[in-house]
A and B are shown apart, each in its own frame.
Chain A
Amino acid sequence: MTPRDPSGVVAAAPAASRPRAAARRLEAGLWFAAPLVLLVLVWAAVVRFYHVPLRVFPAPADVAGALLQQARSGALAGHSWHSLRRVLVGTTLAVASSIPLGIAISTNRHVAALFTPILRFFSVLAGIAWIPLATLWFGYGFGAITFIIFNAVFFIVLYNTILGVTSIPQVLRDAARSLGANRWQVLTEVLLPGALPNIVTGIRTGMGFAWRGLIAAEIIATNAGLGYMLFLARDFYRTEVIVLGMILIGAIWVLLDRLILAPIERRTIERWGLTRAVA
């Protein structure tokens, strides 16, 4: 917490002030929403007074109309579901395979040193650069896109897992060993919790790249999903659908990142801070 931000004190206050904390949270939410509302108003005014044609940029009302129409026809839910499912499947596969592999690699320092430069190389390539090759190997569709998501998350999480495990002070492992922990206990009680902040940061970064990669891949290589919806709308100059898609892509990512990934990251880092203090 920064010295300027006293909210840490508020959070630690007794339960009696909980309604006040809720009110404060509501106020913060309103302050957050106000500029966005203002932006929409300015947008509406500009489109109206300058007579911007729909082919160039839609008015908020057009976008709302597109939202209603797409929601009613079920296209919107379909495209969002396709996109989200790809991200979920790709990310789950990547996380489930990269964490064990990362820990296995990093138990030997020389093996870890061998792999790190290669992994850095591949985590740079992650995602979009694989699109041409992935479409050739898997054809256009679910396989290629899931591969790209998998790829974007896998290498970054693997790299971060190794980084996390190798940065755990040797003292902690020795302490656990000398207290009689067996290898399994060292793994679950020292290595995994110690590497967790890095792993979670890796997942968050990887998903950030994966989400953008997904949109690009859907534009290029599929016939469903939010990216496809955008690009299809471009063919018909339907700017209101494009803007709707952009807002949705932004909103889904903000929700995913701020409501799920960021709190998890904060909590694991707080935990790491505790572990550090003990060391």
Chain B
Amino acid sequence: MMPLRRWLRRLLTYPAVQGAGPFVLLVALWAVVVQLEIYPRTFFPGPQDVLRSFVNLVYKGVLPTYLQDSVTRLAVGAGAGICVGIPLGLLIGLHPASYRFFWPLIIFFQAIGDIAWLPILLIWFGFTLTTMTFVIVYTVIFPMIFNTALGVRTVPVEMIRAAQSLGASRWRVLVEVLLPGALPNVITGLRNGLGYGWRALIAAEIIVGTSGIGFMMFDARRSGSVVEMILGMILLGILWYVVDAWILRPAERATIERWGLVRQTP
């Protein structure tokens, strides 16, 4: 009895077990509820049905293609957001006149939810890839600009003066004080932007409907296949988990620790 308990306790210290354990329980619970047949099976399929559908769709090659489409779109959005959003955010944050001018515009355009752009984009570009790319790039860029500008503006002015009085040139102040100081906000912006962009992508795929996980789910809605809808949702969740755990969180940890250091200095 004792070794088993010790073994269990050791097992629980692994992060993978801590993360996955609750999900194993959840899936077990799900399977039990389905076995009890409280809801008709067609409306509420079990884990084994979803798994079978997963294997089937992978075998047919539909799922990898759709997954690739969705991820590529998200990556394009993120890339554009970083390449355009950060420089614009820096400009707006550093230049008081452009801050005054652009700030209200940014707040306003950020508030026009990405999805609200879909109808007019459909008139301009039709049901094409351009529409989807526009929506996702739009969605990622505004939180990036917003947070980068905010980050640059909240760097304590003493730090800038300290660097200047030590003889730093404008360029070095930018690279060594303002950018690192703004980095935590930039990461927050990326997180918000991707979070919104992710949802916008799903909505765009549902409405524009050419390919992608969102399209698969809505196509399943049309044919009444709940299994594929649930499969799509699980895939979306896992995909975000991967993006979050492997990209966003490490970046966040690195920059916020750094920021902590910077904060303590004065």
Instruction: List residues of A whose CB falls within 8 A of some B CB.
Output: 2-4, 31-36, 39, 55-57, 113-118, 120-122, 124-125, 127-133, 135-137, 208-209, 211-213, 215-216, 219-220, 227, 230-231, 233-234, 237, 239, 242-243, 245-247, 249-251, 253-254, 257-258
- Of B1-9, B17-25, B60-68, B171-179, which binds chain A? B17-25
- Any chain A CB within 8 A of the CB of B146? no
Contact (A209, B221) CB under 8 Å given A129-B233, A250-B108: no
CB within 8 A of B153: which of A2, A39, A257?
Answer: A2
Q: Which residues of A contact B218 (CB under 8 A)?
A: 131-132, 220
- Type the 1/0 row for B238-260, where 1 means its CB is closer than 8 Å to any CB of A: 00110010000000000000000
Q: Which residues of A contact B115 (CB under 8 A)?
A: 212, 215-216, 219, 227
A254 to B, closest residue via Cβ: B111
Q: Is the interface of A mostly helix, strand, loop or mixed?
A: helix
Q: How far is the CA of A31 from the CA of B107 in the complex (A)?
A: 14
Q: Do A39 and B236 touch (CB < 8 A)?
A: no
> In the assembled complex, how far is the CB of residue A64 from the closest CB belonging to chain B, in whole angstroms?
17
> In the assembled complex, how far is the CB of residue B246 from the closest CB belonging to chain A, in whole angstroms?
14
- Any chain A CB within 8 A of the CB of B79? no
Q: Do A117 and B236 touch (CB < 8 A)?
A: no
Q: How far is the CA of A33 from the CA of B105 in the complex (A)?
A: 9
Q: Which residues of B contact A132 (CB under 8 A)?
A: 206, 217-218, 220-221, 229, 232
Q: Which residues of B contact A242 (CB under 8 A)?
A: 119-120, 123
- Any chain A CB within 8 A of the CB of B169? no
Q: Which residues of A contact B25 (CB under 8 A)?
A: 114
- Type the 1/0 row for B179-209, where 1 means its CB is closer than 8 Å to any CB of A: 0000000000000000110111011001100
Q: Which residues of B contact A246 (CB under 8 A)?
A: 112, 116-117, 120
Contact (A33, B156) CB under 8 Å given A129-B217, A247-B112: no
Chain B: residues with Cβ within 8 Å of the partner, total of: 60
Q: How far is the CA of A124 from the CA of B202 in the complex (A)?
A: 12
Q: Do B203 and A239 touch (CB < 8 A)?
A: no
Q: Do A118 and B23 touch (CB < 8 A)?
A: yes
Interface centre among B23, B120, B196, B226 (most CB of A within 10 A): B120
Q: Which residues of B contact A115 (CB under 8 A)?
A: 22
- Any chain A CB within 8 A of the CB of B154? yes
> In the assembled complex, how far is the CB of residue A267 from the closest CB belonging to chain B, in whole angstroms?
20
Contact (A213, B199) CB under 8 Å given A132-B220, A247-B112: yes
Q: Which residues of A contact B21 (CB under 8 A)?
A: 114
Instruction: List residues of B whose CB falls within 8 A of some A CB.
Output: 18-19, 21-23, 25-26, 43, 100-105, 107-109, 111-120, 122-124, 153-154, 156-158, 195-196, 198-200, 202-203, 206-207, 214, 217-218, 220-221, 224, 226, 229-230, 232-233, 236-237, 240-241, 244
> In the assembled complex, how far is the CB of residue B80 from the closest CB belonging to chain A, in whole angstroms?
19
Q: Which residues of A contact B123 (CB under 8 A)?
A: 55-56, 234, 237, 239, 242
Contact (A118, B26) CB under 8 Å given A36-B105, A129-B202, A249-B113: yes
Interface centre among A32, A124, A130 (most CB of B within 10 A): A124
B157 to A, closest residue via Cβ: A3
CB within 8 A of A254: which of B101, B108, B120?
Answer: B108
CB within 8 A of B206: which of A220, A231, A237?
Answer: A220
A257 to B, closest residue via Cβ: B111
> In the assembled complex, how far is the CB of residue B19 from the closest CB belonging to chain A, in whole angstroms?
5
Extra pairs beyond A35-B104, A215-B115 (6, CB < 8 Å): A2-B154, A3-B156, A216-B199, A219-B118, A234-B120, A254-B111
CB within 8 A of B116: which of A39, A127, A209, A245?
Answer: A245
Q: Do B112 and A125 touch (CB < 8 A)?
A: no
Q: How far is the CA of A31 from the CA of B153 in the complex (A)?
A: 18
Q: Do B236 and A250 touch (CB < 8 A)?
A: no
Q: Do A113 and B202 touch (CB < 8 A)?
A: no
B221 to A, closest residue via Cβ: A132
Q: Do B104 and A117 touch (CB < 8 A)?
A: no
Q: Do A131 and B23 touch (CB < 8 A)?
A: no
Contact (A220, B22) CB under 8 Å given A36-B105, A253-B113: no
Q: Which residues of B contact A234 (CB under 8 A)?
A: 119-120, 122-123
CB within 8 A of A209: which of B111, B199, B217, B226?
Answer: B199
